[in-house]
Homo-oligomer: A and B are copies of this chain.
Amino acid sequence: MPPTMAAAPAIRELPEPPGLPEPLPEPAVDDLRLETVLSALSEPLRLRIVRKLLLERESFDHPCGWFGLDRPKSSLTHHFKALREAGIIRQRQYGLERRSHVRVADLDARFPGLLALVTAWTPDAR
């Protein structure tokens, strides 16, 4: 996809169509901290979430229930929030549901190679 120059921000994950809901509050690219990102990714469940988002990102945004995680809703909120506040995912509100995607360009810019490690990860095999 050629980068159709969107309005405001410098780098975007994808050429995003206009009229999207505003992203929920998140750290700016320059504020991403390696410790924080690593800490967020050191939780197996969150690693699963991010990996799944990376592997199946063609459908762009994903609501929270799409992941098939058998945890209560309040636990999921907790983890998605942790990922967003670490700067790993961006979340937007679409009516009822809140959809997430990985901030690929931002993370690649700040921590090149990191997402490849996540993609290559396998849940508990060696």
A35-B42, A42-B35, A42-B39 known; A30-B126 Cβ under 8 A: yes
The answer to whether A38 touches B41, judged by C-beta atoms less than 8 angstroms apart, is yes
Q: Determine whether A104 belongs to the interface, using a CB cutoff of 8 Å to chain B.
A: no
Contact mask for chain A residues 1-42; partner B; CB cutoff 8 A; 1 contact, 0 none: 000000000000000000000000000001100111011011
Report the Cα distance A39→B36, complex, angstroms.
Answer: 10
Question: Which secondary structure characterizes the binding site on chain A?
Answer: helix
Interface centre among A31, A44, A111, A117 (most CB of B within 10 A): A117
- In the assembled complex, A114 has its CB within 8 A of some CB on chain B: yes
Residues of A participating in the B interface, judged by any CB pair closer than 8 Å: 30-31, 34-36, 38-39, 41-44, 47, 111-114, 116-118, 121, 126
Alpha-carbon separation in the docked complex, A36 to B121 (Å): 12
Interchain CB contact under 8 A, B30 and A47? no
Chain B CB within 10 Å, residue with most, of A30, A35, A47, A126: A35
- Which of A38, A39, A111, A116 lies at the interface centre, i.e. has the most chain B CB atoms within 10 A of its CB? A38
Q: Which 8 A-B pairs have the closest CB atoms?
A: A113-B113, A39-B42, A38-B42, A38-B38, A34-B121, A38-B41, A35-B42, A111-B117
